[in-house]
Amino acid sequence: MKTIIRNIFFIVLSWLFLPVSATNLEVIISGVDLPADLSAEQINHLLSDSHGLVWFGTVNGLYRWDGQRALFFSKNQKNEAVAALALSRDGKVWVAFADGSLAYVEGRQLTPFAVADSSFSTNISSMVFDEENRLWLGTEGDGIYCLDGEKLFHFAHKDGLKDEYIYDLKTIPGNKVAAATDFGIAICNFDKPTGKFSVETIVEGLPDVIVTALDFDGKNTLWLGFHKGGMGYYSLEEKKFHQLKLSNTFHFGQIIALETNAVGTWVADDKNGLMLVNGNERKNLDVIFFNGKAFDEKVKTILSDGLGNLFILTQKGMYVSSGGVLSMIKQAGDFSLTDLHAVAAPDLNHFWVANNNGLVEINGDEHKVFLDKVLEPTVRITALSQANDGRIWIATFGQGLICFDPSTEKHWFINEKNGLINDNVLSVNCKDNIIWAATLGGASKITLSENTVECSFQIASFDKQNGLGNNYIYTILQDSRGNVWFGTDGNGLVKYSNGSFQFFDENSGIGDDVVYAITEDENGEIWFSTSSSGLYSYDGNIFKNYSTSEGLSSQNILSIACKDQHVFILTDKGLDVFHKEGNIFINMFEDSENEKLQADLNSVYTGKNYVCFAVQSGLIIVKTNAFDNNTYEPVTLLDWVTVNLQALSDTNEQNFSSDENRFVFEYSGLWFPSPQKVRYKVKLDGYDPEWKTTYDHSVSYPNLPPGKYTFKVVSFLGMAVAQGKQASFSFEIKKPFYRQVWFIILVAAILVFLIYRFIIFRETRLKQIEARKKEKLEFEFQTLKNQVNPHFLFNSFSTLISIIEENPEKAVNYTEALSDFFRDILEVKDQELIPLKEEIRMIKNFNFIQQQRFGDQFLLKIELDERALNSVIPPLTLQLLTENAIKHNVVSKSKPLVVLIKNDMENIYVENNRNTKKTVEKSTGIGLQNIRDRYKLTSGKEIRVVENEKKYAVILPIINK
């Protein structure tokens, strides 16, 4: 933060045509460090949104600013110069560009708004939203437009508008809009049900027809600024204009801007810079303005936000203050307010101060010194207190008490000679007709008589010997319950009630036995400061301590005062304000040279709506009636939530998938007076075990596991306790589908089903294996039976005998073939599949045996290509099919049996001509079924049988290796 700028500016008081008095008043403001890519020259418009963020309308586009960072919102076009800004009733920021286009902010995007009337394109000068959230646009020479939903209405001369050049627009009660024009004020009303536009032009009584600036105070007053006529206000209730007149020595320039806050109405013109119409009373206006020499920058615009800050944008820079809540008086006319020791202020235009010369009355720019002739050169005034009768009670160090009557300018001394316990008085406290004096020799109670002319009194004194316990008394307080409290040097806090003393010291829970200052709040709670252990409160039962660890700027406390919900603490480092309800300290004022503030103890005065502190360099004034409009802690905002590099448009509670687990949280703590002091505490419930303290504006969680989370952030100042309002975002990352309950149940069900199916399959498979084994045994048995049955053996041996007799050599070959045939059966009977070539070799042996029996009556033809010969086949398949052909058909010369084995691309065909026997041998049917089952088990394929009257064929699918 830039060094705090103290500017001297004059108070000019006027009502109607009376000349004004002037008091030099210094408002505490501080320079703003704008982002590096922005300058005050580029910024033309300021807007505060519902969160407290400030928006800049610049020649280069729209920016959002949180005190440290500026985020650019682009409409992605060449001309992005901003002409006006407005906040809608639903909290959206709207922007009008110099090219006549409109847009509004939505999330991180600037969304263009297309006006239905394509011909709309004009120079917009200002815009506002009325009570029904209709957008009103003022233009530079084209009258006024009203955007109702998507329908655009245009109002100009034809509708009663006297002038079409609009400087400013303001919403006023009754769903109306006031327009500042070159011909007075235009009060505009658009009745939607009837579609009628009406305008009331106000010119009568105005000092100038050219109205350049407007502001509405939120009640019934419309402030007006003119081109040459200065300023004033128009009462909507009275329907009357009131001119603000100044003395002939001061002249307004053209009014640039008006802004009303709780302190008053701030004014900027092109001649004098910034000024303030102080207060809301219409009969007693204080005009405060900056001296051109001390603050000669030309003001461009003023903004009062909802947090109590006042932003001042000039040609050269930007500044922020507490909105006039805090100020400092250093000069009254030609009188310099320095070396002050005490203050009593009936009001802020008339007050009493004590300096090294005596008692000084300040009334406007006039001053008068009293008692300078009667005070000894070495005597200093230590405290002032004003009684109900208007008399000023003055504590001196060396000459006791002085009672001064301002109405007669008479004074009376009360000292050791007439009963005061000690002439070195440190403080004085007045209540009704009781005056208490704190001295270095004890305390004296002064009871005034009813004589209002003279100062007649009775004195009762207390010291260490008669119960007070200590002779060194720093301060005395008479509370609302009739008790008297003493701040002592060594005996802590002492309470006097019903004639007895009660002591509160280190044994009672107070960390220090030296008490400097005591005050009471509106709840009757006692607040006091100590020499080294900070600030304490006492509610009658419990002492609470507040030190630097709670946010107090320094434990060296000079003065304290209570007003409403606040405790004002002047320390050697600045002015702290403790907000009791929020339990938080705010540092409001720091010395410009970072030096310790020089002030006497208990140099404070509490007025009706203000608190004054007398310091060596002047008077610090806090306007407590406006202080409630200020924030007591940084406003915490959760700006953006980014998931997997994508910013969310909605920060309500949301659910995310398991792979949407990379989160970045960006946040702000709005504290514009000192943004660099803001710290943050962040915690992700469900992940972080403890809070994390940081100055960073973002935190990332790159790989969150599934679960429910709540991100929390709270901002705070310096060493203050982080206990403000949290910003939070709750969300849930869902488990991956394979960890969902439904999926686990489904998988479990599938597993159970698969296990069940596996068991069924296994049992079926085992049964099939057993069946195959059984079939195989039956096949083997049947094959053996077929081959060794009596008919086969008889036929084979008969054939062999006949051959032996005819041709012994041929008989030997026949015997060898028969032997090979039976040996082959034994070798292949245990195999599931054998090469087709091997099967062909075996069938040829079988054919040789049958040829010896039938001769040319039986013929076996084999027509297989190489592809088929390279396949495999269940053993003895061809032999069984050939055997079946011989079994079921006549084999004779007249009816020879021909068996043909051939193939195509997919199948092997075993076919024979049909010469069906009249008497068919009994058949079990096992052979063909066996072949069918073995094919299905080994290859999953089916064999087919095709037959007619002439031919019988079995089709065997080719089984590749």
Instruction: Report residue 259 CA to chain centroid gap.
Output: 29
For the chain, how many residues are written? 961
Tens digits of per-residue pLDDT, 834-867?
Answer: 999 999 988 888 888 888 888 889 999 999 999 8
39's tokens: 């300058």
| Per-residue pLDDT band at 810 (split at 50, 70, 90) | confident
Q: What pLDDT score was predicted for residue 591?
A: 52
CA distances from 893 to 852, 856, 890, 915 (A): 14, 7, 10, 12
For 188-218, b/e burial (b = at least 16 CB within 10 A) is bebeeeeeebebebbeeebbbbbbbbbbbee
61's tokens: 């586009």
Distance CA 734, CA 704 (A): 11
Instruction: Report residue 412 CA to chain centroid gap.
Output: 64
Q: What pLDDT score was predicted for residue 473?
A: 96
Q: Are strands 654-656 and 727-733 parallel, antiparallel or unpaired?
A: parallel
| 407-427 average pLDDT score | 94
CB atoms within 10 A of CB 99: 16
| DSSP string computed for 237-306 | TTTEEEEE---TT-----EEEEEE-SSEEEEEETTTEEEEEESS-SSSPEEEEE-TTT--PPEEEEEE-T
CA distances from 59 to 43, 66, 107, 314 (A): 7, 20, 22, 15
Provide Rg for the chain, Cα atoms.
54
Distance CA 312, CA 212 (A): 18
| Per-residue pLDDT band at 264 (split at 50, 70, 90) | confident
Tens digits of per-residue pLDDT, 370-413?
Answer: 998 899 989 999 999 998 888 999 999 999 999 999 999 999 99
Structure pTM? 0.72
Reduced to 3 states, what is the DSSP secondary structure of residue 939?
helix
431's tokens: 């209540």
Percentage of residues in the chain having pLDDT higher than 90 = 47
**pLDDT at position 691 over 80:** yes
For 795-809, b/e burial (b = at least 16 CB within 10 A) is bbeebbeebeeeeee
Vertex 938, ends 935 and 939: CA angle to 5°? Answer: 75
Tens digits of per-residue pLDDT, 536-584?
Answer: 999 999 999 999 888 888 899 999 999 988 999 999 888 899 888 878 8
Tens digits of per-residue pLDDT, 156-201?
Answer: 999 999 999 999 999 999 889 999 999 999 999 988 777 788 999 9
Q: In what order do the strands lie in the sheet with 646-647?
A: 646-647, 635-643, 663-670, 698-701
Q: Quick one: 165 exposed, middle or buried, by C-beta within 10 A (0-12, 13-18, 19+)?
A: middle
The average confidence (pLDDT) of the chain is 85
Query: Which residue from 939, 930, 821 is spatially nearest to 873, judged by alpha carbons?
Result: 939
Instruction: Kindly report the backbone phi and psi dihedral angles of residue 708, in degrees, each rounded to the nearest multiple of 5, phi listed first.
Output: -100, 135
Q: What pLDDT score was predicted for residue 259?
A: 93
Q: What pLDDT score was predicted for residue 2?
A: 31
Tens digits of per-residue pLDDT, 919-930?
Answer: 666 555 567 888
**Dihedral sign (CA 323, 327, 332, 336):** negative
Q: What pLDDT score was predicted for residue 653?
A: 64
Q: What pLDDT score was predicted for residue 109?
A: 87
Query: Which residue from 871, 880, 898 is spatially nearest to 952, judged by alpha carbons?
Result: 898
What is the DSSP-derived secondary structure letter of residue 920? P
| Per-residue pLDDT band at 783 (split at 50, 70, 90) | low
CB atoms within 10 A of CB 280: 16
User: Which residues have CB under 8 Å from 179's CB, separation 6+?
Assistant: 138, 144, 166, 168, 169, 185, 186, 187, 188, 214
Q: What pLDDT score was predicted for residue 718?
A: 65
Distance CA 961, CA 834 (A): 10
What distance separates the 2 farthest-apart alpha carbons in the chain?
182
| 475-500 average pLDDT score | 94
Q: Where are the beta strands (DSSP E) in 794-871?
A: 834-835, 858-863
Vertex 635, ends 707 and 276: CA angle to 5°? Answer: 165
Q: Quick one: 629 exposed, middle or buried, by C-beta within 10 A (0-12, 13-18, 19+)?
A: middle
**pLDDT at position 326 over 50:** yes
**pLDDT at position 283 over 60:** no
Contact assessment for residue 41 and residue 79, using Cβ atoms and an 8 Å cutoff: no
289-292: long-range contacts (C-beta < 8 A, 24 or more apart)?
289/9, 289/10, 289/12, 290/7, 290/8, 290/9, 290/27, 291/7, 291/8, 291/9, 291/10, 291/24
CA torsion, ordered 399, 403, 407, 408, to nearest 10 deg: -60
Which of 592-596, 700-704, 806-810 is the least confident region?
A: 592-596
| Per-residue pLDDT band at 496 (split at 50, 70, 90) | very high
Q: What pLDDT score was predicted for residue 6?
A: 28
Distance CA 651, CA 632 (A): 26
User: Which residues have CB under 8 Å from 614's CB, separation 6+?
Assistant: 340, 341, 342, 343, 353, 354, 599, 600, 603, 604, 605
CA distances from 861 to 864, 888, 908 (A): 10, 18, 13
CB atoms within 10 A of CB 852: 20
Q: Where are the beta strands (DSSP E) in 468-625?
A: 473-478, 484-488, 493-497, 500-504, 515-520, 526-530, 535-538, 543-546, 557-563, 566-571, 574-579, 584-590, 604-606, 610-615, 618-623
**pLDDT at position 287 over 60:** no
Distance CA 470, CA 804 (A): 158
Query: Which residue from 517, 514, 491, 485 is spatially nearest to 504, judged by alpha carbons?
Result: 491
For residue 837, the surrounding DSSP H or E stretch is helix 836-854
**Residue bearing the bigger pLDDT, 14 or 643:** 643
Inter-axis angle of helices 877-888 and 926-939, nearest 10: 160
Task: Specify the residue for token string 């007895």.
Answer: 500
**Residue bearing the bigger pLDDT, 308 or 426:** 426
Q: What pLDDT score was predicted for residue 244?
A: 78
| 356-360 average pLDDT score | 91
Distance CA 752, CA 772 (A): 29
| Per-residue pLDDT band at 451 (split at 50, 70, 90) | low
Distance CA 890, CA 920 (A): 10
Give the best-scoring range by mean pLDDT among 127-131, 262-266, 762-766, 822-826: 127-131
Query: Which residue from 671, 602, 618, 699 is spatially nearest to 328, judged by alpha carbons?
Result: 618
User: Which residues have CB under 8 Å from 20's CB, separation 6+?
Assistant: 11, 12, 13, 14, 246, 247, 250, 287
**pLDDT at position 424 over 50:** yes
CA torsion, ordered 128, 129, 131, 132, to nearest 10 deg: 150
Q: What pLDDT score was predicted for residue 1?
A: 32
**Residue bearing the bigger pLDDT, 667 or 507:** 667
Vertex 400, ends 398 and 403: CA angle to 5°? Answer: 135
Q: What pLDDT score was predicted for residue 590?
A: 62
Q: How many Cα neighbours within 13 Å face the side chain of 450? A: 0
User: Which residues have CB under 8 Å from 378's CB, separation 6+?
Assistant: 398
| 228-240 average pLDDT score | 91
Q: What pLDDT score was predicted for residue 9?
A: 27
**Dihedral sign (CA 695, 698, 703, 709):** positive
| Per-residue pLDDT band at 17 (split at 50, 70, 90) | very low
832's tokens: 């599931």
Distance CA 195, CA 344 (A): 61
| HEC-encoded secondary structure of 593-652 | CCCCCCCCCCCEEECCCEEEEEECCEEEEEEHHHHCCCCCCCEEEEEEEEECCEECCCCC
Contact assessment for residue 612 and residue 345, using Cβ atoms and an 8 Å cutoff: yes
Strand partners, 166: 181
Distance CA 433, CA 430 (A): 7
